Amino acid sequence: MSNEAQKQIETIRESARAIGVSYSTLRRMIAAGDFPKPIQISRRRKGILISKRNAWLEKKASQDV
């Protein structure tokens, strides 16, 4: 994966859509430590590194096999 791809960020809502859960469910997962912690993008905005979301998905997929 290129350095550029590793630094891409998506909003929490976009992450929720990408993994197929609601925004509220993803917020609960983050609070429980079951999903990568968001980073502060600006004073009022947080986001998820796409590379961390993808790594989380890979880990989940390997656990289910």
Q: State pTM to two decimals.
A: 0.81
In whole angstroms, give the CA distance from residue 54 to residue 42: 23
**E strand intervals along the chain:** 9-11, 39-42, 45-49
Based on its alpha-carbon atoms, the radius of gyration of the chain, rounded to whole angstroms, reads 12
pLDDT digits (tens, 9 = 90+) for 7-27: 799 999 999 999 999 999 999
pLDDT tens for 39-65 read 999 999 999 999 999 999 999 999 866
Give 2: exposed, middle or buried? Use CB within 10 Å, 0-12, 13-18, 19+: exposed
Can you tell me the distance from the alpha carbon of 11 to that of 9, in angstroms, rounded to the nearest whole number? 7
CA–CA dist 43, 46 (Å, integer): 8
